Amino acid sequence: MRVQLEIDSPADSFATSAGRDKIEIALSPTDFDSQRVSYYSDRNVATFLKTPAETGSLVMQTVVTDVIAELKPSSTNVQAKLEASLIVNGRNEDAFMHTVILDGDNPTGNVSPARKIFDLGKPLDFSWVASDRSGISRAEFLLATSKTRAFPDDVEATVELDHSSNRIRQKYQLPTDQLMITPGTQREFWLRARFSDGVGHQFESQELVTIRSPRATSTNGDGQAESRQEVKGTLTVLVQMASGATPVRPKAIIKDRDDLIPVPMGDGVFAFPNLPAGEYEIEASGIAGGQQKTGSKKVVLKTLGDYGKKVVVNIQ
């Protein structure tokens, strides 16, 4: 840690550390740095002749340079008080105290997408939290196909902060309309974040999300979009043991689709109404014999006839 002091006194009144003039610097509390150490700073004074342009005559000029004191504290993760004393001719002429934060660690943080699957063209909602002893000064976000590639200089979104708080939690959105995804398909992206603290340390966090693109809409000869009825229906799921018995407190969900809420019908039967055509994985659970049992099954829905079949998921 560097400490630079400006001494408001005549240039030639402050001698070097060889004499009785010195700058004494200490950090407290004592349990942070148990030994009080004096750090001396020489004041270099140089006098030379100079010809000012405005007068053209020779004058004497004195140049003063204060040497920067280097401190090597015993800990780099603490809030402490820095006390500096100016001692001239053996007398304490002035002193000041300042609170300093010694931050030797990187910040910490994470991003949490609102869900796992998002639609192309709609905002990607997420929340983020970051903390650091010296405060958070910047948060940067982007969607990338690589998890490990170096963070680019030009990111999609930057949040500048005054790092007045050492812990920040916010909600944010990233646009998805510029992503290149083939219509009717979906693609995985990394939601990446980089957090910077008040002294320049950085930390990265990432979460995997899926962006899906709707099917392309064909046009007629007049350039108008042709109407196409989207295939939807109600998917019925039965959760049971391999023996056919209904477990206690049965549950059924569609993996990574928190927006699709099942309707319990009783006896381990669940309905997913208005479910668009596509590929899904049903995850089921229940209690049998006092233990939690789980199971899963993948289904493909293409036509209305696919919805008429009850999907049976055995748990074990």
The span from the CA of 177 to the CA of 123, in Å, is 8
Residue whose token pair is 């300042």: 98
Using one digit for the tens of pLDDT, what is the confidence trace for 243-299? Answer: 999 999 999 999 988 888 899 989 999 999 888 888 999 999 999 989 999 999 999
Report the C-alpha gap between 190 and 207 in whole angstroms.
Answer: 6
Say if residue 69's pLDDT is above 60: no
Q: Which of 46, 146, 26, 136 is nearest to 92 (CA)?
A: 26
For the segment 164-207, what is each residue's pLDDT rounded down to a tens digit?
Answer: 567 888 999 999 988 888 888 888 999 999 998 877 889 999 99
CB 186 within 8 A of CB 211: yes
Q: Higher model confidence: residue 92 or residue 276?
A: 276
pLDDT, one tens digit per residue, over 4-21 is 555 544 444 555 444 556
Whether the model pTM is above 0.85: no
Alpha-carbon radius of gyration of the chain: 34
Average pLDDT score, the chain:
76
